[in-house]
Amino acid sequence: MKPETPLSARAAVRALTASKIRELYNEGIGRSDVLAFWVGEPDEPTPQFIRQAGIDSIGAGEVFYTHNLGIPELRDALASYVTRLHRPVSASQIAVTSAGVNALMLASYSKGLSFQRRVAAGGVSTATAGATAGAPYWVKLERIGDTFNAYSSSDGAAWTLVGSDTIAMGANVYVGLAVSSHTTTATATATFDHVSVP
């Protein structure tokens, strides 16, 4: 590069605006009269055993990129765990990602319906509430290019749009069904029916 060449970001980078969520966070951080719900961080410190595991990992030299689908030993362990709980699952069916883009239409037994998604890797997850009706309920997630439309239905015939968003994803994506008890002290069991993936 010649010394006289000025350094400059591309026009698209210069046109980026600051995150409104981050602006809100910066205004409220440290204030005792504000409850911090904006960036999804917990109000308790990370447990000591997790902090120690991170320290041990760094000490062991685990500081480089891993396989795109996750650490093979972790995928093996998760496959064994899911196999013990439910049915045979191989490590090739497991992907471990950190803050990847996703779209989810869910039905909660006690919290109603919600369209949840993360539109950018490493970004914040957002949610659009649907009907207050709880599971069992019909839900549908539709993809048209990079547009994701989430629907709900009480009868599987008449569908109501809960939300829509644009999420850049590759042509091949993972599709799955998730169940959670929302607690580490209990497992959850669910039955899915009328499942189809075009």
Neighbours of 77 (CB within 10 A): 13
Note the pLDDT tens digit of each residue in 93-142.
888 877 788 999 999 888 889 999 999 887 888 999 998 887 889 999 99
* Long-range contacts (CB closer than 8 Å, 24 or more residues apart) made by 83-91: 85/187
Same domain, 192 and 140: yes
Write phi, then psi, for 26 (nearest 5 degrees).
Answer: -65, -35
88 located within any domain: no
Q: Which helix (H) or strand (E) holds 73?
A: helix 72-85
- d(CA 131, CA 108) in angstroms, rounded, equals 11
pLDDT band at 14 (very low <50, low <70, confident <90, very high): confident
Mean pLDDT over the full length of the chain: 85
Query: Structurally, how many domains does the chain consist of?
Result: 2
- d(CA 95, CA 93) in angstroms, rounded, equals 7
Same domain, 36 and 108: no
Determine the structural domain holding residue 120 and report its residue range: 97-198
Same domain, 27 and 119: no
Same domain, 105 and 57: no
Same domain, 101 and 56: no
What pTM did the predictor assign? 0.57
